[in-house]
């Protein structure tokens, strides 16, 4: 079949139009694997001018351990399917499925044709699923283990109470109550863990003053209220919009942690809470003079089920939930602590003041 020059040019233009308007990145190399064509989609994905990449060796962007495998496959003149990870200028990792056609012997191409299809979204979802499944396995194992202890303790105390005098029963009832409260605390943390994983992010106006006051009333017992001095202040005259349930989860766990680990050796234990709100961000600072955290543990306190001390009862879920919740809100949390002096948590949560309300 004979194709005239006009038809050839028309086909080339059509091919280029299809390639340029595809979301995939198409690369054509010469025999030495130097890039001689790359589709303009690379500009959108990597913010790089395609012309700047011409003449570069395509293998220079590949992990060294992959290079020989690719070359072996190319030498065998077989199509190659693989996956690569590439970094953007701002350090983000992108994942691509790669299809390579060996057209070195083709009279026109005389090189490789690579098609890179962005699968980053799919890859991230796979990684999140693996992470969630791993966490779920840990949670199920830990929960079944930790639920058993207070239940068995309560049952044993009930048995003792039934055989004891009326005077001793009051003592056993108090101990049973303690075991059941521990059980209730564990169930509450499990509920918060799964709620944070499953609930869709919502947006509403949050009255931080009312939320703080309510949480402090719920968390501090009458005895602790007479021991621990709690002060809080809120600055900024801007409204704060975010996910109410998740912000409350963060505040509850941070305050609970400060109360739980106050220093009983100090004559004036305190918790100081300061909140600053502007149109862009809400900054929450919680400072205490509690027992503090040892330096070697400060990078691990947000790990699942990690407990830095046996000073008080806990599951090791609280701070994990805090960090996981803040990340879902696209915020940050930092900690500074000195053993024996106290701990300060600095939390930044974006203010969704100017974002549209979600339609429920």
**Residue 173: pLDDT band by 50, 70, 90 thresholds?**
confident
Instruction: State the average pLDDT over residues 216-242.
Output: 84
**pLDDT exceeds 70 at position 30:** yes
**Is the model more confident about 339 or about 91?**
339
- For 265-293, write each residue's pLDDT tens digit: 898 999 999 999 999 999 999 999 999 98
**Is the model more confident about 278 or about 168?**
278
The Cα–Cα gap between 180 and 175 comes to 9
The Cα–Cα gap between 37 and 9 comes to 17
**CB-neighbour burial class of residue 193 (10 A; exposed 0-12, middle 13-18, buried 19+):** buried
**pLDDT exceeds 90 at position 256:** no
**Residue 358: pLDDT band by 50, 70, 90 thresholds?**
very low
**Residue 2: pLDDT band by 50, 70, 90 thresholds?**
very low
**Is the model more confident about 299 or about 14?**
299
**pLDDT exceeds 90 at position 88:** no
- For 310-325, write each residue's pLDDT tens digit: 555 555 677 888 888 8
Q: Please report the pLDDT score of residue 305 as a whole number.
A: 65
Q: Please report the pLDDT score of residue 146 as a whole number.
A: 61
Joined tokens for residue 300: 């691990």
Contact 79, 98 (CB under 8 A): no
The proportion of the chain whose per-residue pLDDT surpasses 90, expressed as a percent, equals 19
Instruction: State the average pLDDT over residues 252-256.
Output: 89
Instruction: State the average pLDDT over residues 192-202.
Output: 69
Q: Please report the pLDDT score of residue 131 as a whole number.
A: 72
Contact 241, 352 (CB under 8 A): yes
Handedness of CA 353, 356, 357, 358 (dihedral sign): negative
The Cα–Cα gap between 208 and 235 comes to 11
Q: Please report the pLDDT score of residue 167 as a whole number.
A: 77
**pLDDT exceeds 60 at position 176:** yes
The Cα–Cα gap between 21 and 245 comes to 43
Q: Please report the pLDDT score of residue 197 as a whole number.
A: 65
Q: Please report the pLDDT score of residue 3 as a whole number.
A: 47
Largest distance between two CA atoms of the chain: 109
Contact 21, 28 (CB under 8 A): no
Which residue is it, tokens 């070697």? 296
**pLDDT exceeds 80 at position 189:** no
Which domains, from first to last, does the chain contain? 5-118 (3.30.450.20), 120-198 (1.10.287.130), 203-360 (3.30.565.10)
* pTM > 0.85: yes or no: no
Average pLDDT of the residues of the chain: 80
- For 50-74, write each residue's pLDDT tens digit: 888 899 988 888 888 788 878 877 7
Antiparallel, parallel or unpaired: β 204-206 and 229-235: unpaired
Q: What's the residue count for the chain?
A: 360
């Amino acid at each position: 079949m004979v194709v005239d020059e006009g038809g050839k040019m028309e086909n080339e233009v059509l091919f280029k139009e299809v390639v340029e308007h595809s979301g995939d990145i198409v690369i054509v190399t010469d025999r030495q694997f130097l890039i001689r064509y790359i589709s303009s989609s690379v500009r959108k994905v990597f913010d790089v001018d395609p012309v700047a990449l011409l003449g570069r060796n395509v293998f220079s962007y590949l992990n060294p351990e992959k290079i020989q495998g690719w070359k072996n496959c190319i030498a065998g003149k077989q199509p190659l399917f693989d996956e690569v990870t590439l970094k953007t200028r701002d350090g983000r990792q992108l994942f691509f499925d790669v299809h390579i056609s060996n057209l070195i012997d083709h009279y026109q191409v005389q090189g490789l044709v690579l098609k890179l299809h962005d699968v980053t979204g799919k890859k991230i979802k796979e990684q999140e699923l693996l992470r969630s499944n791993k966490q779920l396995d840990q949670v199920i194992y830990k929960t079944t283990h930790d639920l058993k202890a207070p239940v068995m303790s309560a049952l044993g105390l009930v048995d003792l109470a039934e055989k004891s005098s009326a005077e001793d029963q009051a003592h056993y009832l108090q101990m049973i109550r303690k075991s059941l409260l521990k059980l209730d605390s564990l169930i509450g943390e499990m509920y918060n863990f799964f709620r944070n994983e499953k609930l869709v992010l919502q947006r509403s106006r949050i009255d931080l003053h009312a939320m703080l006051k309510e949480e402090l009333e719920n968390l501090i017992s009458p005895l602790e209220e007479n021991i621990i001095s709690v002060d809080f202040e809120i600055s900024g005259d801007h409204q704060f919009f975010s996910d109410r349930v998740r912000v409350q989860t963060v505040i509850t766990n941070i305050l609970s942690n400060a109360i739980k680990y106050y220093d009983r050796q100090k004559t004036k234990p305190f918790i100081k809470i300061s909140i600053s709100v502007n149109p862009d961000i809400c900054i929450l600072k919680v400072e205490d003079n509690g027992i503090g955290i040892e330096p070697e543990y400060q990078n691990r306190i947000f790990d699942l089920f990690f407990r830095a001390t046996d000073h008080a009862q806990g599951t090791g879920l609280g701070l994990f939930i805090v960090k996981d919740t803040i990340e879902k809100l696209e915020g940050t949390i930092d900690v500074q602590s000195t053993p024996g002096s106290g701990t300060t948590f600095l939390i930044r949560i974006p203010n969704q003041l100017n974002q549209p309300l979600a339609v429920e």
